[in-house]
């Protein structure tokens, strides 16, 4: 005679929630179990308070595994409010106990909420706040926007190098270093006088508003035919937002000279201005003649669709490789 083995008599639900969301934001299935069955927890928390506020009872226990098994025996189902780490040790202990008592209960993992995209950014903000607050890192506390400026440039260049090397693993790390600078600047700005201070939320809020405002083909009713029209819309909206007395306003003057020259020439060309390039007079010094010659070279590069900054960088790196090879040859025994 054959038959089916009986299923478990009950279940233990390990309810895991995101610590980065308000405690009361649970899924409908999660609310069903906490309202329908006995709930246990290892300590009082925002989640236990939220569950109680919804009309459910929560029992705090220092003997979770025995109490959960006893609750299952008497009620069929028991719910455990897991801590932020997921209570892996408890899950392992329960698994071993249930293996020794087959048919008593099954162990079920239920997610009451999930981390939203970008949740770890909240962690980055929290960690930086800890570092800059009293009792944190003295070095970071002593920094200013001016003292950090060089690091922002250095980290950006390192990210650029990772892109140029097509090293996407390195790029992930380098972008993290750039993000560190953003978060640190924003945290330091919270310490400014009240009429000048701002926070990371102000930075993010301004960015979100700008992205929505300048992409009406996505967030509004605008229709576009191609990428050129998207760029034109962006520039038109930008001009309306920031009326400028000169087409050169907003150009980053601290960027490398070749890149700066290309950007200035681009702005002049886009504005349709006919401004001739400088031609050194006969009495001009060598530096002025060299500068004018380089500016003409950048203009020729733009006309050919080339990036003068990248071209010089590549030529310099190739030359550096040749130098290293020559050094190796000269060091080799003859």
Class of domain 10-111: alpha beta
Helices 286-303 and 257-271: crossing angle in degrees, nearest 10, is 60
Confidence of residue 1 (pLDDT cuts 50, 70, 90): very low
Span 164-176, average pLDDT: 95
- Number of Cβ within 10 Å of residue 39's Cβ equals 23
The correct answer on CATH 2.60.40.10 for the domain covering 119-241 is no
Tell me, what's the pLDDT at 332?
Answer: 67
Span 142-170, average pLDDT: 95
Confidence of residue 334 (pLDDT cuts 50, 70, 90): low
Residue 134 has pLDDT above 50, yes or no: yes
Q: Residue 176's closest CA among 116, 127, 114?
A: 127
Lowest mean pLDDT among 97-106, 163-172, 276-285: 276-285
- As annotated, the residues of the chain forming the CATH 3.40.1010 domain(s) are 10-111
Q: pLDDT digits over 56-71, tens only?
A: 999 999 999 999 999 9
What is the rounded CA–CA span in Å between residue 134 and residue 293?
54
Residue 107 has pLDDT above 90, yes or no: yes
- As annotated, the residues of the chain forming the CATH 1.10.287.1080 domain(s) are 119-241
pTM of the model: 0.72
Tell me, what's the pLDDT at 5?
Answer: 47
Contact, 54 vs 83, CB < 8 A? Answer: no
Residue 175 has pLDDT above 50, yes or no: yes
Q: pLDDT digits over 246-264, tens only?
A: 888 888 888 889 999 999 9
Confidence of residue 331 (pLDDT cuts 50, 70, 90): low
């Amino acid at each position: 005679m054959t038959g089916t083995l009986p299923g478990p008599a009950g279940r233990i639900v390990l309810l895991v929630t995101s610590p980065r969301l308000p405690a009361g934001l649970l899924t409908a299935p999660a609310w069903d179990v906490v309202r329908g069955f006995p709930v246990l927890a290892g300590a009082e928390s925002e989640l236990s308070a939220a569950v109680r506020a919804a009309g459910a009872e929560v029992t705090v226990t220092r003997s979770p595994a025995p109490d959960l098994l006893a609750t299952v025996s008497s009620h069929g189902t028991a719910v455990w409010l897991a801590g932020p780490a997921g209570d892996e040790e408890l899950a392992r202990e329960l698994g071993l106990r249930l293996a020794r008592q087959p048919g008593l209960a099954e162990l079920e993992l239920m997610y009451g909420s999930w981390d939203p995209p970008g949740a770890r950014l909240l962690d980055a903000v929290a960690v930086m706040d800890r570092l800059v607050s009293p009792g944190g890192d003295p070095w970071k506390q002593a920094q200013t926007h001016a003292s950090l400026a060089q690091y922002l440039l250095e980290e950006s260049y390192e990210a650029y190098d990772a892109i140029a090397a097509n090293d996407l693993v390195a790029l992930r790390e380098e972008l993290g270093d750039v993000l560190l600078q953003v978060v640190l600047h924003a945290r330091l700005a919270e310490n400014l006088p009240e009429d000048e201070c701002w926070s990371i939320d102000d930075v993010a809020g301004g960015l979100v508003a700008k992205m929505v405002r300048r992409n009406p083909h996505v967030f509004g009713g605008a229709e576009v035919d191609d990428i050129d029209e998207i760029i034109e819309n962006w520039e038109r909206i930008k001009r309306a937002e920031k009326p400028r007395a000169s087409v050169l306003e907003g150009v980053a003057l601290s960027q490398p000279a070749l890149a700066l020259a290309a950007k200035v020439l681009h702005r002049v060309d886009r504005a349709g201005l006919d401004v001739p390039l400088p031609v050194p007079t006969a009495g001009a010094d060598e530096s002025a003649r060299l500068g004018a010659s380089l500016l003409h070279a950048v203009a020729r590069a733009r006309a050919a669709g080339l990036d003068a900054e990248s071209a010089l960088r590549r030529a310099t790196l190739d030359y550096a490789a040749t130098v290293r090879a020559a050094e190796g040859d000269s060091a080799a025994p003859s």
